[in-house]
A and B are shown apart, each in its own frame.
Chain A
Amino acid sequence: MAEIRVDHLRKAFGEFVAVQDSSFTVEDGAFLALLGPSGCGKTTTLRMIAGLELPTGGTISLAGEDVTYKRASERDIAFVFQLFALYPHMNVRRNIGFPLLAQGVPKAEIRTRVEETARLLQIDHILDRPVSGLAGGDRQRVALGRAIVRRPKCFLMDEPLGTLDAEFREVMVRELRELHNRIHATTVYVTHDQIEAMAMADRIAVMNHGVIEQFGTPQQIYDRPASMYVADFIGSPPMNFIRFDAGLPKGARTARIGAAEIEMPALRAEVAPGALALGVRPEHIRFSDASPLRGAIYGTEYLGTNQIVTVETQGGLVRARLPAGQSYRIGEPVGLSFKSERLSLFDARSGRVIPSVLHEGALRREARHG
């Protein structure tokens, strides 16, 4: 097992830049999710780490060794493809044993290792079946088997659950994470599904248009998004943005939005007058009649234990996650209050977050842990 270090990685296809300038490190044994919408360069990044695509610039190192221009076969990594790429002319056993055959492992040992792997993944009963008749989940496990049988330096997975139906996907998410806990293989996992990323990863890199917008733990990404893009991409429903124009001094603890004076974490930088956006997670909103920030109920969405209530305000639609008990009439006037210590303030033009105490505390905490 090994650490993966990616440094100023760049990939252009002719004029089009698929990956701009990515740098990140996946620590030995860690599980990184590359998360982003379709076409943002996740697969391209992964293929460069695998050696299936040569970078236009930057370096990649595995376990301290520069492998940027090494062949895929010399990197000692395993790759799980989105459509699994199980060899259709081989049965399950030969599929799983195929990487060992390349290393010249003796026949008897291949046999025992394939069987061990199959037991780990609970597919030992289908070892002699052809792969063509297998159900989605079993194909998934065979693909995983082929990846882990060799005990490679790291695993790269490209949306391995993308083709499974939603119900089964949840089962596989759990299985994958359990597998990771057992074998502690450094893993880079590509997905466009935030729930998968949140559930499995130790670290998440959120990508957009070839740029890594934020790299951090799931909690950091959720609680302290580095940009409006990340805030909007993560969370369901996503973070609310209340837009307003203002200039704020360093250390400001309140912002005036319309008639309301809203408390927020003290800013650590001065903000020049301009368009701003206050970011509020739906679960950090409560209704309070006393609040000067007013709105009217626009719609409700019942989710069982809680409900999503949409409120129309001067600054746009705001969604709140509230306990399911109370019911609201459309058009009913309400006042909104926010959990002030969890708010983020963004520069609406650049989309970047404005640093505040929220981030500082986090930085200190991370420094202690790191």
Chain B
Amino acid sequence: MSAANSAHSVVEPGAASKRIAATLVILYAVITLVPLVWIFLTSIKSPPDSISYPPKILFTPSLEGYCNLFTTRTRQTPEYIAALPEPDGICDAVTRKRNMVIAGPSNFLPRFANSLIIAFGSTFLAVGLGTLAAYGFSRFKVPLADDLLFFILSTRMMPPIAVAIPIYLMYRQLGLSDTAIGMMLLYTAVNVSLAVWLLKGFIDEIPREYEEAAMIDGYSRLQAFRKVVLPQATTGIAATAIFCLIFAWNEYAFASLLTSGSAQTAPPFIPTIIGEGGQDWPAVAAGTTIFLVPILVFTILLRKQLLRGITFGAVRK
């Protein structure tokens, strides 16, 4: 078996070239990580530290950005604040130092929740529909299959801005503007084309014999799909889901045009934080930091599947 394996593998790189590769990768990682680290550092600075020039590398960390992100505050006279009972919690104390009191929770949490629901919901729908469609295109004689596939791809060729106005008008007529369902449908529609194309590639790689074997073994096509094809397509499904999720999570153009109130997602909301009470960069940075977390977690959770996907073609079953 070892002979067969080595025949398939690439020549093992030497120690020197390995070290060079590692250095390059680390260098690249550092460069790309700088803005992220900067955002995180800004989120734990106090507002004066965040705009000081030259920028401060050493500073006393503060939770003020996070407090401001989650709350709305009103300015009060020092006498009023002095008359208040003991502050209850860190945020209370931080706010009072700026002669303000917490008036209530901000919109960040509901907006963040909208983002979660819309992004994960649309990803689920796009990947689900995409898997079924890709399976169909991969296994059946679909009339005009090539034209259909091209049509599906072509829906992605137009920049979102070009179709945003018609969709806006259409959504108003249908009562879908500023609804989570509307955004979910929209992102699903955009992502499904990507999902079909990506997944068709992965499903084409799975030999038909597996399903045929299952069907001969007494399973229906749908059962064979579920028990034999799906488990082997997990890699492709995971990769596709991440792509879809990243798009839906980061999408800004449609979101800013079609949502304003109850269905607003985090991307159009985060920039609005800056307006509330001066240039509150720590709060914006805090919002951005939190906004990055779900994608990070999702990617880490699917890491194993993704890595398997990279070596997909190399492993002979």
Contact = CB atoms under 8 A, between A and B. Distances in A.
Interface of A: 50-52, 71-73, 75, 77-79, 81, 83, 85, 87-89, 98-99, 102-103, 132-133, 135, 146, 150
Given A88-B317, A89-B232, A132-B317, A73 B219 contact: yes
A99 B317 CA distance: 21
Contacts of A79: 212-213, 216
Interface of B: 1, 207, 209-210, 212-220, 223, 228, 231-232, 317
A79 B231 CA distance: 22
A85 B217 contact: no
Contacts of A88: 232, 317
A50 B207 CA distance: 17
A89 B216 contact: no
30 contacts: A50-B216, A52-B212, A71-B215, A72-B212, A72-B215, A72-B216, A73-B217, A73-B218, A73-B219, A73-B220, A75-B216, A78-B217, A79-B212, A79-B213, A79-B216, A81-B212, A85-B207, A85-B210, A85-B213, A87-B210, A87-B214, A88-B232, A89-B231, A89-B232, A98-B217, A102-B214, A102-B218, A102-B223, A132-B317, A150-B218
Contacts of A98: 214, 217
B212 A85 contact: yes
Nearest to A156: B216
Nearest to A76: B218
Contacts of A75: 216
Contacts of A135: 1
A126 B74 CA distance: 72
B214 to A, nearest CB: 7
Contacts of B220: 73
A87 B207 CA distance: 11
Contacts of A71: 215
Contacts of A146: 213, 217
A218 to B, nearest CB: 28
Given A88-B232, A89-B232, A102 B209 contact: no
Given A71-B215, A87-B210, 13 more contacts: A72-B216, A73-B218, A78-B216, A81-B213, A85-B212, A88-B317, A89-B231, A89-B232, A98-B217, A102-B217, A102-B223, A132-B317, A135-B1
A81 B209 contact: yes
Most chain B Cβ neighbours within 10 Å, of A72, A77, A133: A72
Contacts of A132: 317
Nearest to B4: A136
Nearest to A143: B213
Given A81-B213, A132-B317, A102 B219 contact: yes
A87 B223 CA distance: 14
Nearest to B217: A99
A78 B210 CA distance: 13
Nearest to B315: A132
A85 B212 CA distance: 9
Nearest to B220: A73
B74 to A, nearest CB: 59
Most chain A Cβ neighbours within 10 Å, of B1, B214, B217, B220: B217
Contact of B216 (A52, A87, A103): A52
A150 B219 CA distance: 13
Given A89-B231, A132-B317, A135-B1, A150 B217 contact: yes
Contacts of A89: 231-232
A150 B213 CA distance: 13
Given A50-B216, A71-B215, A146-B217, A87 B209 contact: no
A83 B219 contact: no
A105 to B, nearest CB: 10
Given A81-B209, A81-B213, A88-B317, A103 B228 contact: no
A284 to B, nearest CB: 43
A103 B218 CA distance: 7
A51 B220 CA distance: 13
Contacts of B216: 50-52, 72-73, 75, 77-79
B309 to A, nearest CB: 15
Contacts of A83: 207, 209
Contacts of B212: 50, 52, 72, 79, 81, 85
Contacts of B232: 88-89
A133 B125 CA distance: 36
A245 B212 CA distance: 52
Contacts of B210: 85, 87
Given A81-B209, A87-B228, A73 B317 contact: no
Contacts of A102: 214, 217-219, 223
Contacts of B213: 79, 81, 85, 87, 146
Contacts of A133: 1
Given A88-B317, A89-B231, A132-B317, A73 B215 contact: yes
